[in-house]
Structure 1
Amino acid sequence: MEESKLRELLIEGASRFGVNLDDGQVDKFFTYMDVLKEWNEKMNLTAIEEDKDIILKHFIDSVSICPIIKNRESTLIDVGTGAGFPGIPVKIAFPGLKVKLLDSLEKRTKFLNEVIEKLNLKDISTVHARAEDKGVDGDFREKYDISVARAVANLPVLLEYCLPFVKVGGYFIAMKGSNTEEIENSKKALDILGGKIEDVLEFNLPFSDIKRNVVVIKKFRQTPTKYPRKSGKPSKVPLI
């Protein structure tokens, strides 16, 4: 597909979620795609390699959470960000956000730092660490208006990774695929960790029949200090 058509796809797809991209923002997405493809040749960042699919399944999918972000100057942490999704696309869409990209693999944070530099993004930085370790760190714990995670684990596990970062009154946004069964299994984790499901948004990605569910969780009280548990425990013994 030629670049002009790809640009139209991105602009139209983002607009479905209330995000109106200007030429400069579109340019940033295309630079991001170039860096992603270049690095993907030497390390496994994504199995999605076609330009159209990157735009649809990474970029538009990421900005699908933008309508939930009411304050565009919020502090946001993207937990297990991988190749930067959804954190970097959301930052491009809402430049006023203050974004932290957390990932446990140092090679990925090097890639993310290059993207940040090439795109000349401000108020965004990377952290090479596990969520379980930073969730108990006073510089990170309950310091963010929003935490986000994109399908890196089952919801009870994600809640233990992500809710400790969120201020009371803030939100955790869990981006999931078509399966919502795990929502039923999350009641215990929500109760223990101080979260409440406020909404489950179900939609198809634009121009496709790919189903998505976004679970919006409000934090109504502090997370007990014993959570998150030590590295590996949340995934091995989930709160269910």
Structure 2
Amino acid sequence: MDLPLPLLNETAAAWGVPLSATQSAQFATYAAELVRWNAHTNLTAITTPHDISVRHFLDSLACARYWMAPEPPTSLIDIGSGAGFPGVPLKLLWPTLRLTLVESVGKKAVFLQHLVDVLALPGVTIVQARAEVAGRDPQHREQYDIVTARAVAELRVLAEYCLPLVRAGGCMLAPKGSNLAPELSAAHAAIATLGGQVRIVAPVVLPGLEPRTIAVIDKLHPTPAAYPRAVGVPARRPL
């Protein structure tokens, strides 16, 4: 597959997250494996080299711009990881990152393990579970610098999935579409209840696409023990 590496490299560099030749080669391998597996496993509707670069890889790397510390984060958990976005691109960007990918669908979890093996990525754990279960597991609860989730749920539901997993002082990064205002308005109370506070909703401009947004939510306080609620409850009865 001919991934448009100049587009990927130039955009990432302009964002202040430049990629080495080794990292670019890893992204090319990732794209090839995604397309190969997608022929028999429903991973994504985005399969052209250009769209994979922009809609998957760059959309994922945009999250890195909102980690404000001078040093890379040490740990990240990605909820509903699917084909690995945004968690795996961020691992390629930050090779020392301890990454946990949470994916409840078995076939997608198998792909993620294959991808980690092919890319020879150390420090990656794949958890086949629902987010509500992971959020109550002491191995994962409030253990991460960053929690990410893309295209999983509306923001007030997503906050209950995600905020229990990130430590106080860390943050939640949620790539979203262009019109986040209604979701954000409905989510403020839930975010506060769960120990978070919205830092910024920032535009994400991807080459050739309408602007998207990313919600950056700081974790200020530990999440109360009552959350997350049982599997399925956050979606049925949002906070």
TM-score for both structures, normalised by structure 2: 0.95
Q: Does 1:190 align with 2:195?
A: no
Whole-Å separation in 2 of the counterparts to 1:210 and 1:110: 33
Q: Is the 8 A contact 1:141 1:165 kept in 2?
A: yes
- The residue type paired with residue 191 of structure 2 is L
2:96 is paired with a residue of what secondary structure? coil
Quote the residue 1:130 is aligned against: 130
1:67 is paired with a residue of what secondary structure? helix
Whole-Å separation in 1 of the counterparts to 2:92 and 2:189: 36
1:65 is paired with a residue of what secondary structure? helix
Quote the residue 2:231 is aligned against: 231
Q: Does 1:90 align with 2:90?
A: yes
Quote the residue 2:12 is aligned against: 14
Identity rate, percent: 42
Quote the residue 2:78 is aligned against: 78
Q: Is the 8 A contact 1:17 1:66 kept in 2?
A: no
User: Where do residues 140-219 of structure 1 align in structure 2 (5 Å cutoff)?
Assistant: 140-180=140-180, 181-205=182-206, 207-219=207-219
Shift of 1:210: 2.4
The unaligned stretches of length 5 or more in structure 2 are none
What stretches of structure 1 move > 6 A for 4+ residues in a row? none
Q: Does 1:222 align with 2:203?
A: no
2:53 is paired with a residue of what secondary structure? helix
Shift of 1:86: 0.4
Q: Is the 8 A contact 1:151 1:177 kept in 2?
A: no
1:202 is paired with a residue of what secondary structure? strand
Shift of 1:152: 1.0
Shift of 1:191: 2.0
Q: Is the 8 A contact 2:75 2:144 kept in 1?
A: yes
1:81 is paired with a residue of what secondary structure? coil
Task: Show CA shifts across 1:36-81 (max 9, x none).
Answer: 0011011110001111100110001100011222331421000111
Q: Is the 8 A contact 2:73 2:145 kept in 1?
A: no
2:4 is paired with a residue of what secondary structure? helix
Shift of 1:151: 2.4
Quote the residue 2:110 is aligned against: 110
Whole-Å separation in 1 of the counterparts to 2:164 and 2:113: 25
- The residue type paired with residue 175 of structure 2 is M
Quote the residue 2:63 is aligned against: 65
- The residue type paired with residue 196 of structure 1 is Q
Whole-Å separation in 2 of the counterparts to 1:17 and 1:51: 21
Shift of 1:91: 0.7
Quote the residue 1:30 is aligned against: 28
Shift of 1:116: 0.7
Shift of 1:128: 0.4
